[in-house]
Structure 1
């Protein structure tokens, strides 16, 4: 689907959940003096203005990062990435996952991003022009299968589709199983929304039944950003979870519970 644009949702509670754990994982992986690959299947534009018309229209950032920023210590990787983004792009800038990864990675690491939406792809290229990233204007699932196993073999893949159609849910278990077979050392992180419809439940059950290596799921719940909003939580399913990630996820659970 080419209708989804994350500018309306940037900095919402789901982003806080996803990006806080992503930043933690990247910080953990880059502590070791070995190169790594970062792959993202649905990158978006990578950088967002939280005062833009789209963000103000939904109010999701106001209910998200604007409330949650104070949850984190200043030295938490998520806040460090947020501060670095604002230092370069201004006080109202918010980093998408491609920029978080770009800021976390080092010389010698590989960064490959896919974004099929023409407008979002062009914005992504512009936003990351000063950095070293390979941006693909192709289907993210096809890109991921084509380059796996990547070089370097150590690394992380983020899968973050829009889930606008049921086919997205249906495709995820088989896709993740395929990637894991081709790249059995890679950390795979799937983000999914928790909606009032419960559309994620069968997908998550199928993933858990596959007994993928060192896998776990982490879900947080929160109130709807506005009347009628169907998203009431955020989920991550992780394969080859790095040491300590589950403990970090538990700390995040406590933060959301106090909100």
Structure 2
């Protein structure tokens, strides 16, 4: 896990899927005056430069945000966040999910982030310096269990591991069950890769059995390069907010139209 650095993959098609859904959910939640909490277990560095050689080396951003951005409505919350990030940090800047959340939240909302990698944690601290975030360098699941139920109780928890630790597939359903027992009103969001190996399958079977009313949304796309094992992106949402199924269907149409 400590070897993973997302800047090689920032802005890829999976990021577009995950961040478009997250942006929509936060816009929906912040449209009401009640305060909320945002918790993220594997935050990364929060801000990426798609012009960096590390990002360009894989070609994933070109196949992701470069191909899909214009297919999203100009007033989509995710597009607004992209515009704001570029206006502040330059045209090749790309916001990770912590920065998307930080831009969406209001005074009175709470932002809890965990990132274990030393370099990524330092970069995250710098990127989020203008925002009142609580950033911890510790295991994300430990932080989530210690924080839940948060105050305010209304809110979202995003789990977005690298899955370099293969045990994540086995342990995540148990983490979600425990977190839901402690925070039964929280929106719990899991991102997962669609893999040629099908390694994600048993995890999703367990989540579906535990949360039969959860929303599962997946999009497919071409492998980023020859031999790449990820051919799609998935989200599993416990307590999905009203209207998310319709937003997910709109995103499916975007990905299908772009082939």
TM-score (norm 2): 0.98
The separation in 2 between residues aligned to 1:116 and 1:42, in whole angstroms, is: 8
The separation in 1 between residues aligned to 2:46 and 2:52, in whole angstroms, is: 15
Residue 165 of structure 1 and its aligned partner are, at CA, apart by: 2.7
- Following superposition of structure 1 onto structure 2, how do residues 1-259 of structure 1 map, counting pairs within 5 Å? 1-211=1-211, 214-259=213-258
Q: Secondary structure at the match of 1:217?
A: strand
Q: Secondary structure at the match of 2:197?
A: coil
Deviations 1:1-53 (A, max 9, x none): 20100000000000000000000000000000000000000000000000101
Deviations 1:76-96 (A, max 9, x none): 000000000001000000000
The separation in 1 between residues aligned to 2:170 and 2:19, in whole angstroms, is: 24
Residue 216 of structure 1 and its aligned partner are, at CA, apart by: 1.3
Residue 208 of structure 1 and its aligned partner are, at CA, apart by: 0.3
Q: Secondary structure at the match of 1:108?
A: coil
Provide the aligned length of Structure 1 versus Structure 2: 258
Residue 55 of structure 1 and its aligned partner are, at CA, apart by: 0.6
The separation in 2 between residues aligned to 1:245 and 1:57, in whole angstroms, is: 34
Q: Secondary structure at the match of 2:226?
A: coil
> Following TM superposition, where does structure 1 have runs of at least 4 consecutive aligned residues deviating by more than 3 angstroms?
none
The separation in 1 between residues aligned to 2:156 and 2:150, in whole angstroms, is: 10
Residue 59 of structure 1 and its aligned partner are, at CA, apart by: 0.6
The separation in 1 between residues aligned to 2:222 and 2:124, in whole angstroms, is: 30
Q: What is the CA RMSD across the aligned residues, in angstroms?
A: 0.7
Question: Is the Cα–Cα contact under 8 Å of residues 85 and 94 in structure 2 kept in the other structure?
Answer: yes
Where do 5+ consecutive residues of structure 1 fail to align?
none
Residue 228 of structure 1 and its aligned partner are, at CA, apart by: 1.3
Residue 229 of structure 1 and its aligned partner are, at CA, apart by: 1.1
Deviations 1:142-170 (A, max 9, x none): 00000100000000000000011320100
Residue 211 of structure 1 and its aligned partner are, at CA, apart by: 2.7
Q: Secondary structure at the match of 1:113?
A: strand
Question: Is the Cα–Cα contact under 8 Å of residues 211 and 238 in structure 2 kept in the other structure?
Answer: no
The separation in 2 between residues aligned to 1:211 and 1:102, in whole angstroms, is: 29
Q: Secondary structure at the match of 2:111?
A: strand
Residue 132 of structure 1 and its aligned partner are, at CA, apart by: 1.2
Deviations 1:95-139 (A, max 9, x none): 000000000000100000000000000000011111111100110
The separation in 2 between residues aligned to 1:171 and 1:8, in whole angstroms, is: 26
